[in-house]
Each structure stands twice: as structure tokens, then as C-alpha cells.
Structure 1
Amino acid sequence: MSIRHGMLTRRWATGVTAAAMAALLAACGGDGGGGKSDGAKQPAGSASSVPASQGSPKEGSGPTVPDTSSTLATINGTNGFQIVLHSAARDQGGFLTVTGTVKNTTDKTLIAPINWNGEELNVKRTGPSLAGATLVDKTDKKRYYVLRDTEGFPLTTTGISAVKAGETISIFAQFPAPPATTTQVDFQLPLMPVATIEIS
């Protein structure tokens, strides 16, 4: 895992922790005593979706340690990579965080496609990442891109390069949240089939 990825993860986790504490305090109270869809053609492969789990996430789970007991969709690429999406949760700040895992299903080491990095110069300097991922709201005909921080770095997993045979890597990507009326979006990653996922 790259140093930059660690910084982004810690920054993201700190924000989530602060939001969680604020929500907890508000719930407990106190007594004073103390983009547009372009319809791009997708490559061959398979993607299957399942209803979102009704269970709550495990306590203490970070943004790159998804609750693997829930599965929103499984995406099987022709390149030997399998992506399993475990959650798509709205955050209080108006964000939508997607978590999952990437697995090398072959018996040899695979190199993550550079297409996953995205096309922008600002994200290319980050190195290997999932900055090329997008969400598409087909109802409102809008496309959402991975968020960037103030320095232009993508708020997503970075450092994914060589993936060993059978290895599984936890991933996350943070997007602007679609309207509250939107309950489904299409998750798209270059060279992988599209998967429709439920928003929790």
C-alpha cells in the first residue's frame, strides 16, 4: 500500500469517525452534566447483482475493510480480475462511498490495467488507482466521478499494481452522492462489465 493511499485512507477515516461521533452525541443527547451518461460500450465479461443486505456494517470497519458478508454485485472481467462490491453507503457530508474487493482469479500475477487510473493528468501522477471508476444514475442521466482532494488526488484506493495469483485486495471509492430519490446506480470501471448496485 502506498504512502499516499495511507494518507488518503487516514484522512477519510478521520472524517468518518468524526461524523460518527457527532451522530452518536446527537442521538444520545445531553443533560448538561458533563456528469452525464455517455452510454460507453462495455467489454465482454459478466456482472451479477444481488439485493443489498439489511444487516448493519461491522463496528470499527474502515473504508478499505469492507464487510464482506454483504454482496451487492460480482463483476468478472475477461482479464482475470474479479471485483466484488460489498456496500454503497451515503455519508453525512453528501458523499457516496463504495467498498469492495479486487481478486486475481488466475494462477499467475496480473498487472492492474492502466485504464483503471483514469485519464486526467492530476490523477495520473497518483500512480495506480481506481480513479477511472464512475457511477451512472440512469434515471437522472448523470455520471459521477471519483472525488478529488484539494491537491487533486483521487479519494479511492491507490497502489494497486501487481496482484499475485489468488490475492484479494480491499478497495474503496468515494463519489458525490446522487439525489436521495436515487436508489440504484451503475458502477463502471474501464475494461470491466457494468454492475447495477443498490444504495444504502
Structure 2
Amino acid sequence: MSIRRSTKSRRAVAAVSLTAALALAISGCGTDGGGKTNDVGSSPSSAPSKSSDENKEAKQEDTAAGDNVDPNVKLAEVKGDGLTLVINQVKRDSGGFVTVQGQIKNESDETRNTSTWAGTESTVSSRNPNSVAGATLVDKTGKKRYYVLRDTEDRCLCTTSIPPLLAGRTTPIFMQFPAPPSTTTEVDFTLPSFATASLKISG
């Protein structure tokens, strides 16, 4: 099953501003020496914000998935609220990113709302409604938490505009994070409303 959709226009915008966003993320990577987990990539971008009228007119494009992945490959499976999240691929890219791809299936008898997956940060959830922008990776060894990458307009590099998930239906998802150090090969993945999954990074 192919879960690739056209995201060229969205990725063109992201490509222009991603360097700045990644630089901002990396600037917060230092540990505080107190044993706490530091946040990486959570700071908002410094690009000028659009007016409220422009924001209302802006359309949120759907970005369902990146590369084709084999849905039969199951790296991890976690459940939450009648849903099952399966991770199919966790890949380190040469550009300094980690891409996580998977699928969410509604195994309940009722339609499930997808809005909680965008997280609780108001700026992120408003610019990326019904997305998986609330996902995080945690490097327990390096004591760092990594957030989904965003461009200078706070639009995430992840699946967005996910409609309510009908009973028995499955939706593909993807998200990109700043890459942990090359010595980090395993991270904890969390998406709001789901249990935490331990993932091994390939590539």
C-alpha cells in the first residue's frame, strides 16, 4: 500500500525556511547540568507573523506522508482511546533530520476526533489543526526532548488536516524531528493520547 501524497508545494516553502528553523532548534541543545531533559526544537520561529486577515485566508495543506513505507513492517505498536498506532519506519536523514512514519487505525465502534494529536501549544495547534504536531522524541541518554520541526510560519513538517477517523479506518502519518547525535540509536516516541513507544533509529 502506498501512502505517498503530493507535498511538493508545502515542502518547497519548508525547504526555504528549514535551515533557520533547524539552526534555532540546535541552539537549544545544551544540557543544563541538573539532570533534566532539555527541549530541542520547541522554540517558535523568528519570522514575521502574518496579519490576522491573512491567517484566516491561508489554507492548511494536507501532508499525509513522505516516502513510501512497507505497512507490514511493525517497529512498534501502542494503543490509546480505542486507536492503534503502528510505527513502520524511523529513519535518520543526511540533512540532519529523523523521519518517523506510521499509521493510526480506529479499532473502536465510534468515530474518533484527531484534534488532540496536535498537542497543547496554542500557536502550533492553531497553525496545524488536526495534525500530529504534538509528537515528541526523547533521548534519555542525552537528556533531550525533540519536537516536530516547524518552518518560520510555525507550520509543522508532519501530517496535517487529518479528518475525524471513522470506525475501522486507518490514516497514514509522518513527522520530522531534529536528529539526535549519531551515537543515539534509540529514542522514546510519544503522541498525545497514546502510550510511549521505544524506537530504534535506522540510517
Global fold match (TM > 0.5):
yes
Matches within 5 A, 1:1-200: 7=7, 11=11, 37=37, 63=66, 65-77=68-80, 79-112=81-114, 114-118=115-119, 119-200=121-202
The runs of 4+ residues in structure 1 deviating greater than 2 Å are 5-10, 35-38
What residue ranges of structure 1 are gaps of 5+ in the alignment? 16-34, 39-61
The sequence identity of aligned pairs, in percent, is: 48
Q: How many residues align?
A: 151
- Amino acid aligned to 2:117: W
Answer with 1 or 2: which has the greater Rg: 1
RMSD: 2.4
CA shift for structure 1 position 109 = 1.4
- Normalised by the length of structure 1, the TM-score is 0.68
Distance in structure 2 (CA, Å) of the matches to 1:152 and 1:8: 18
- Normalised by the length of structure 2, the TM-score is 0.67
What residue ranges of structure 2 are gaps of 5+ in the alignment? 16-28, 30-35, 39-64
Distance in structure 2 (CA, Å) of the matches to 1:9 and 1:122: 20
Distance in structure 2 (CA, Å) of the matches to 1:82 and 1:180: 30
Query: Secondary structure, in 3 states, of the residue corresponding to 2:95?
Result: coil
